A and B are shown apart, each in its own frame.
Chain A
Amino acid sequence: MKKQEILKFYQAYRLYIFPLVVAFSSLILIIFVIYPQTVKLISDQQVAKETESKSTLLEVKAQELEEYDSADLKQKVDIALGAYPADKDFISAMGILQDIIAKSGFNVVAMSLGTSLATPNAQGYNLKVEIVGLQTLLLTLLSNIENSPRLMRISNIQAIGGKDSQATAISFNIDVLYAAAPEGFGSVDSPLPSLSEKDEEIIIKLARTSSTFGPAQVSVSPGPRGKANPFE
């Protein structure tokens, strides 16, 4: 009885009821499916693009890292650290300096720690060197020091003696430079620095000079230090 009444009511007003049902269904579909899915699609499109580019970037980086010969890289790092170490290396620097002075034709009279650093914006320590030799060879010595396998800068020069004197007393101060290692070595997604031709040239130059003036770093064997029991 009720069903028949509903059918009769529908038949009477179907011209209005049907469009209303269609509109309501469409609205439900739009509100609950089409709109949220489209919004998510657009926002995820950006995420997908970013993830894709990051993935490509990291794949290229991983490939580049794999291509590096770690042994060769370690050797280059050793050369670079020998020239510009991360901390004070008095013994090594004095050894190299002595070698350079001797090979440049001078005799070392005294070598001591100097006072302040003259090189601006640099970290380092100062060495005061007193030598004896021909003043005509001084230019070669200065050039050898500033092109040595250890970063050194002349901060002052004093030469006493005649131009053609056989033994001129020369004293000079040298800034021996060092710098602490960078705090971070790069995150996973940080860009990878590449070695340019100039960098390779510097390494070759350093390697060549270190073979002329001895090894840049004095290797210290990690043996036992001091006495086990100092009261014995």
Chain B
Amino acid sequence: MANILINLLPIEFRQAEIKRTKFNKVQAFGVAVILLMAFLASLTVALRILQSQRIFQTKNRLSQAEEKISSLKTVQGSLVLLKNRLKAIDQYLGTPSQQSQMYQLVIGLLPANAAVSSITVDKGGEVIILATVSDPSSLEDLTTNLLSRDKNQDKISQVALESINRGRDGIYRLSLKIKPKT
């Protein structure tokens, strides 16, 4: 046989009880929220304090390093100057100028029988040779050497025979203008 439950309390009591239970829940939630907010606030403040301390220490280290570098400014200056000079020196030292290269090339291509009366290498690297050659084969050797890409190391762009004449002595006198490749 089932039990029969009868609430004999007045209805106002029941409503007050429901209201109190509801408030208790709201109160618990509110306290939790306040606690959470307080925790977050103290956490951020603590982190900020720690961060400020770290920044302060780092700035101290920074200023110490800056002072040390300032005291070694002459060493830094010397190093910058040295590097600046060496960069330019490296560009030129041991690298022959175009004029030297052309002179070396042309002298190297002259056959044994050719005698140079005068050789001029101008600022643009253009070479003018006045030479005498005793026989036609040497003359041919000279022009072949100057015009051959393998022998002239592909450094000559143009060879102009300005003048040539053969004397009574059978010697060829010639004037050559050699233009370098730019």
Contacts and interface: CB of A to CB of B under 8 A. Distances in A.
Interface string B79-112: 1111111101110111111011001100100100
B96 to A, nearest CB: 6
A25 B37 contact: yes
Contacts, number: 223
Interface residues of A, number: 79
Interface stretch (B22-30, B147-155, B159-167, B171-179): B22-30
B70 interface: yes
Given A33-B44, A48-B51, A156-B99, A205 B93 contact: yes
A70 interface: yes
A166 interface: no
Interface residues of B, number: 70
B62 A153 contact: no
Given A58-B65, A146-B96, A156-B123, A186 B80 contact: yes
B117 interface: yes
A112 interface: no
A81 B85 contact: yes
A80 B79 CA distance: 11
B93 A83 contact: yes
A177 B92 contact: yes
A158 B47 CA distance: 81
Contacts of A84: 85, 88-89
B51 A19 contact: no
